[in-house]
Every structure is written in structure tokens, then in C-alpha cells.
Structure 1
């Protein structure tokens, strides 16, 4: 049945399925590689600097997506842009699984992560479009699936590599990405119809109309928004710590805490698993709290405790330190929820999501490479852990920017007056 013949309810359910399936994909490409670094090194040389460079690819790709995705969504529409994102993930997974050398490995990683970056940017406006009356619940659901997609690759990657090969362990995630393409392929074929000027406003979203187009000019306006900067500060702290952990934590645990390769991979899965209940609860709490201050304080405190514990007492309780680092990532679902909550419509959500992620990931991009280089020079991970504890603490500076509780639209309108 052509998608244009589907009822609004069916389109809504397809959109929700698409949102959840993309969420199950956006982190798997990031988390799948580092636990397999030693296996890959047998075929493709990976020294600490090379691993650090691979760690830079996720935030760079996500930062570029923050700039490009709103432009593509404006030109092609939300559904076609998300379909493009999923197809890029499929191609990227397969390319790096078949990579004959380091350059192909980096290229495949960049492609899959550009697709994941598009998903990161466009999921908040997709929630705003397909679930406008359940922002907290749907954001909690997809943030939870993001945590699952972070936890699964480290947990099963090494066993699959042991049983078959590291290439299979990387390439199997293409299957999950293919599943996510189905609902967006149907929705992308739905012919858009602009809303009639006389259409009455309702509490239900009209899924037969085209998505409100993001005004890319607002990107410049957001630089004047305290609300936008508050979300960006918290998101940047989360990104810097998360992607550094993905890149270096298995090596830190092996070199500093004395864990085996398999145990280090399991610990990285613990980092992600801890985020599961937080991803369920945090977006709902954001919807109920006028200010997200308690959640930001919790994220900063847990991050500082985790990185400091790994620095000072690495062998005492390594899994506890990793779990605290994971709890510090509560900032990520908080920011996702704030992007939707502090936007008045899908257009603002698209632009705000792009702004927050472009700035946050641009800053985060240099960190894993720097840590790899510093380790190569000094032979120590202590400088990296000190920096990461400091970054977690700096998340507290977001609190004053988010006190008002107003949306970006309302703030900019007030400033214009």
C-alpha cells in the first residue's frame, strides 16, 4: 500500500518505529571499534596515535552533521534525510568490516558516523513531529535504546571476534541498520502536502503535512540565546567525556587497572548499561522540572568521582569508577529532552539540535587524539583522567543559563522586543 494511503495513526506508528530503530543504531558504530583494537591491530596496524585518530572521527562526524543535517532536512525533508542517514550507516558498517587498510577503516568509520550524526541531529525534531504530546516518554525510550546500542557492541564484540573474526563483529551491525531503513523508506515515499492556511490548530499533529522547514538563519540567532548555550555547555561536557571513554577506556583499564582485554570490553559495556535507567528517567524528569539543576549536578558529581577514582585508586574498584563515569552521562538524555522541551516546534528543534551538536562535538573532537598523543609521549593516562574530571566539573556552569525555564523561541522573541 503506498504510504500516501496510510492513515495518520499508521504514519505516526511508523515514525515512532523509525525513531526507535535509528536510536538502536546511532551509538553502535562508536562503541564497536575500541574493544576490538587489539584484534584489528593484527591485520591493520593501530598504535595509540592511530587509535586516538579513530576516536576523533565520531565527534568530527557528529559536528559536521550538526551543520549539514539541518540544511539537508530543509531541502529534502525530515523523512528522506533520515532514510539517507540509515543507508549511510549500512554502507559504512560494511566498508569498515571489509577494510584492507587503515585508510579504508577510517573512511568506513567516517561514513557510518555521518549517518549516525544525522540521526543524532534529526531525532529530536522527529519526536517533536511524531510524538508532540509525549516528548518526555518517547525521548526516554529512544535515549534508552541509544544506551543499549552503546552497551551491546562491547559486550558481544570480543566473543564474536573469538568465534569468527573481528570483521564479522564489526559488520553484523549493518543488519540492524537495514531494519531501521524500512519505516523511513515508507515515510520518505509519502508525498508531502503543505498545510492549508485555514487548517484549524489541533492537539494532534497532522502527519499528512510536510515538516515545518528549519530556518537556517536561526543558527546565527542561537548564538545570542542563553538557553541554547546552557544546553550546549552540558552537551559538550557529556560529549568530551563520552567519546574519550569510547576511545581510550579499554586501554586505560588494561594499562592502569590491570584488566584483561575481555574484562575491559565488559567494563565498557557497564559504562553504557548504567545509562539505561537514567535514560528512562531523566527525560521524564526534565519534563516535570522547571529547571534541570539537580540532574546537571548529579551528572557532574558522578563524572568527577569516576575519573578521580580511576586516577587515584585504579585497581581498588575499577568497575565502580566505570559505573560512576556512566552515571555522569545522564547529561546526554537531559540535553536531548531539553532540545525538544525548549523548542516551540520541529523547525526550532532541528536548528537547536544542529547548533548544540555542531558546537559540542567540534570541541570534543580534539580530545581523544590529544589523549592518544600525550600517552604516546608520556606513557601515562593520568593527564587524560585529570582533564576528564575537570570537564565533568565544568558542566555545572550550564546551570545559570537554564534557570529561566523559557523556550529558545520565547527568549529570542523577548530579546527582539
Structure 2
């Protein structure tokens, strides 16, 4: 599949993954209320995190590995090994998820905890990375579209008022479960060699460990903040924060194919004279920065307009949005960090990316503790500042590499 077709397919997939949830947001808030929406979003945030953990970096290493495997028996052994590793991690993840819920303000929502535990467990069957390596985007699109359409239909039929929070939680959870079940069934039907190779499993585990640690640490930042926000914010503010979070996530995912498409342009001039690469990087940097700023302005305008014209009702008021809206400022560094990190990887400096993210998070810990202890509403500023710190450090390292090139 050509780069253009892959980009279109990936963009379409991400659009389906986020347009349907975005469509559900005003419907859900208007039906179950902003506070109940925030509760379900809390469970959803931790579910997404643990699904990322269970993936164990296969979304990166698995795509590369499958792409070069020639023999069917090796491919099947790799997939079976990945299932075994993810099964072990899923058990630990579900236990950790339950502990987190039980020491959160939402410890009494046992039904939601059970539903989202199944969603986490279904991450074992997430073979989307395998289909991407095979350029089977149509199969991924159909699976995703099917689950989203079913979820929307169930919502319209079953969710009628604020007492239907459990039904809404079930609907959100099946959007994760159904595609993974489809992937698992398809793979079960097509895997011919089912054999556990302990040595091979250990080898994969060791090769993926660094990627896993990096992705887990990076992915854990927002859920940890959300956990503390659940104690700090009022019900209305926490629901508003969840609304902002969903729009922020949609904007970031909308920008992902764009940042990914810029890297091939840089790769073409990688071995050219230093000034050519530097000029290309600077040009793309300015354009992407302008795009991210425009996107950052568009998101709050959309949200506040929706509240003013009662698209979002359910008890949501402008006052509750004021502090949570600070989160939107992290959109620019999220978009730019994707570009800067991929550029450093292209310049064979992937270790620098990992070290910068880990260093920035470690530096932010004292400020995090101070905010929790003395000025908890400042916690959201600390979150945004962490990503700006990562952005400036990544940009600085890119500049240094360009000057050394």
C-alpha cells in the first residue's frame, strides 16, 4: 500500500475512533448529566491506560517484526507469544485497576468496575498492530465502525436519564471489547501453528521491555493527574474536565497522521547537505506550530459555543469549565512533541526522546507534590507545564543535532 493510501486509511480509522465518541458526548451529558459523565470518563481513562500497558509495545516493535517475517510458522509463534505475554500483564493490570478504583471517590461503582475490567482484559486480543503491518486497514475500519455503530444504537435505545449510568458505561466498554474479540476470532481461525516457545517468549519480552517502560510511563501521566483531580474538583468541574479531555484527545489524534506524514519529507533530505535538512525542518516546524495553535483555539471555541447554545446541557455551566479549560494549552506541546520525537528517531537519537520524557516527569514530581499539598487547583498548570518542558527540550535537542549534522 502506498504512503498516500496508508495515510488516508489511518486518518479515516482515527476519525471513526473519535467522531463516534464525540457524537456520544453531547447525547450522554444531556441524558445522564455532566457529573455522571465524568464518573464514566474516569473509568474510561484508566481503561485506555491499561490497554496501552497490555499492548507491551507491540504497536511499535510488532509492526516492524511482522513486516520482515517471511515464514508462517515464525509469524504464528510470534503472535502466540504476544498473547501469552499480554495475558500475564492483563492479570496484573486488572488487579491494579481494581485497587485504584477501590481507593478512588468512585469505589461504590462495582458494575462499572466489572465492565471496564472486561474491556481491559479484551486488550489481549488487540491485534490492530498486526493488521497495520499487513496494510489490512479495511478490516480494522470495518471492525471499528461496527462497534461504534452498535454502541450508538444501544445508547439511543437504552440510555434515557441520569439513572442509566451503568448502561452508558457498558456501551463505552463494548467499543473496546468488540473489535478485540473480532481480531481474536480472525487470528484464531488463521493461525495454524499453536506452540509456546518459552525461549522465544523471553526473547520478545526482553526486546520489548524498554519500549514498554517508556510507553507506560508516558501514558501514566494523565491518568495519575485524573485520579487526583477526582478528589480536588467538584462533580461539575470533574465532568467538565472529562469533556475537555475528550475533545483534546480527538484533536491530538486528528493531528497524528499529519505529523506522521511530515517525516517522509524529512527522510528524503536526511543525507543531503546540513542546510537543506535544517531548512526543511524549520519550515515544517513553523507550519505545524501554526496548525497546532489554530487547533488549540478551535477546541475551546467549540466547547464553549456548545455550552452557550445548550448543545451540552446536563447541568454543565461555564463556571465549571474555566479551570478544566487550562488543559487545552497542552495541545500545542502534544502535537509538536510527536513531530520532534519522530525527527530525533530519524536522526538516530531515540534514546534522547526517552530520556527527556523521563527527566521531565521526574522534575515535575516535586511540583506535583507541592500542588497536591498546598494549592491543588494548580495541579492542572503543573500538567501543562510538564509537556511544555518536554517540547522545549525536544526542540533544543533537534537544534543541537541539526547543528552537529
> TM-score, normalised to structure 1's length?
0.44
- Structure with bigger RCO (C-alpha 8 Å, 6+ apart): 1
Q: Of Structure 1 and Structure 2, which has the larger fraction of its residues in helix?
A: 2
> TM-score, normalised to structure 2's length?
0.45
